Amino acid sequence: MVYDIKSLGYLLSQVGPVHYLTAATGLSIPRPSDNIPALWYSSTLSNSESWIIAGRDLESTNELLGATGLWDATETIARYGVRLPVVWAADHERSLFDLLINFCEFKSKPVPNIQVSDIDDVVDIQRMNELIGLCHPLISPQGLGRIEVWLSSGY
């Protein structure tokens, strides 16, 4: 489904962070304290059709983490030429958490196209492990096993 800027603005500006940028998109957004783009493909941020949005493209993990790791990325996204009233984004650790939960738990598949070695310079793996720990009782043993395999494959 193609979303125009008006409908994206509505989708991303609901009261509270119901939908938010995540996964590879969230990993690509430089945080306000960052001086450089997070990943090599941050140039895709100017193309809103390529955005990965929780609740649209991936399952939202709000039921597991609430608003933990979500931030108002409106000004940052505006620097890429996309102007919307409000844009919520997952920080790098929440973006990785979302990827791992969606693929390792919900889909029972490997995480596509991203390896730990690709992101270990921008993601605090320890903090991401803390997010997994918060939800540990809610994740299946098989999902936890797949997450552990993915995390250990890059070191």
**Residue 80 burial class via C-beta count within 10 angstroms: exposed 0-12, middle 13-18, buried 19 and up:** middle
Residue 146 reports pLDDT greater than 90:
yes
Q: Where does the pLDDT of residue 1 fall: very low under 50, low under 70, confident under 90, or very high at 90 and above?
A: very low
Please report the pLDDT score of residue 49 as a whole number.
86
Q: In 3-state terms, what secondary structure has residue 88?
A: strand
The chain-wide mean pLDDT, for the chain, equals 82
CB half-sphere exposure, 139, CA atoms < 13 A: 27
Give φ, ψ of 72 to 5 degrees: -80, 105
Q: Residue 6: is it exposed, middle or buried by C-beta count within 10 angstroms (0-12/13-18/19+)? A: exposed
Range(s) of the domain holding residue 134: 5-153
3-state secondary structure of 73: coil
- Structural domain tally of the chain? 1
Q: Is the pLDDT of residue 9 over 90?
A: no
10-19, 23-32, 83-92: least confidently modelled range: 10-19
Give the pTM: 0.83
Dist CA 94 CA 77 (whole Å): 18
Least confident window among 9-18, 118-127, 142-151: 9-18
Please tell me the predicted confidence (pLDDT) of residue 116.
Answer: 86
Categorize the per-residue pLDDT at 12 as very low, low, confident or very high, splitting at 50, 70 and 90: very low
The pLDDT value given to residue 18: 81
Give pLDDT tens digits for 59-111.
999 988 888 999 999 998 998 888 989 999 999 999 999 999 999 999 998 88
Q: Are 23 and 98 in contact (CB under 8 A)?
A: yes
